[in-house]
Amino acid sequence: MLVTLLVVLTVSASLLLGAAWGIFGTLHKRKEGFLIALAGGALLLSVVSELIEPAIRESSVYMAMAGVLAGAAVFAAVDYWIDEKWGPESGGGLLAAITLDGVPENLALGVALIGAKPLEVAALAGSIFLSNLPEAAGGARQMAQGERSKWRIMGLWAATAALLSAAALAGNLLLESASPHLLAFIRCFAAGAVVASLATEVFPQAYREDRHWTGIATAMGVVLAFLLSELARG
């Protein structure tokens, strides 16, 4: 249980660190875009190797396909609604998007921690941390450009971090005895939502800010996630 709490708190803390960075810190747009692409590449590989592949082994490829498509469809539908309500460039929209893919993502993280050794989830947890950090920074910065109090914005991100922490703990505590097919579906639903968010939120933002270095940064993120995975399994 202690390992679970440490992993959950570390991953959720990335939202608070990112929000503080976005509100109170400064970073050149191109550097921020590079970091976003790096994190996106790491998360892309991690959802395949740490969520989809285990789900296929423990259940079936058809259950994995259903989960991935369901997660992507739900994210796309809610993301469309977010764009209509807040606008595609709004910090509030990005906050909602992070929450939407973060809830199943953290549920899956909690499931992955069931019976696992600390290093076995290092790649997934590390990739989620890397992804949350620049995303939260970008969303909080956009929100801070309005008339809202900086501390109120920090409060919103703190509430989001608490919600995602609760999702991870719920996944770990409530789904321990669930069937492998249900766990596989949850993992792949999370993977589908993450992939959809990478395609619509993360990589487009990275390209707008960093242009042609985005591809290199994404490839570096994939390599980084691969190295983390190999270290965890070694």
* Helix, strand, coil share (%) of the chain residues, nearest 5: 90, 0, 10
Determine contact, residues 7/109, Cβ cutoff 8 Å. yes
The answer for residues whose C-beta is within 8 angstroms of residue 224's C-beta and 6 or more apart is 38, 41, 42, 130
Reading the chain (234 residues) residue by residue, the pLDDT tens digits are 666 777 788 888 888 998 898 888 877 788 888 988 998 898 898 889 878 998 999 899 999 999 999 999 988 888 888 777 766 555 566 666 677 767 877 777 787 776 666 666 666 677 778 778 887 887 788 778 765 688 888 988 898 889 888 888 888 888 878 888 988 898 899 889 889 888 988 898 889 888 889 999 999 999 988 887 777 666
- Residue 136 CB-half CA count within 13 A: 30
Determine contact, residues 175/190, Cβ cutoff 8 Å. no
Closest among 19, 42, 37 to 162, alpha carbons compared = 19
pTM for the whole structure: 0.81
Q: For residue 220, give both structure tokens.
A: 């570096």
- Residue 224 CB-half CA count within 13 A: 22
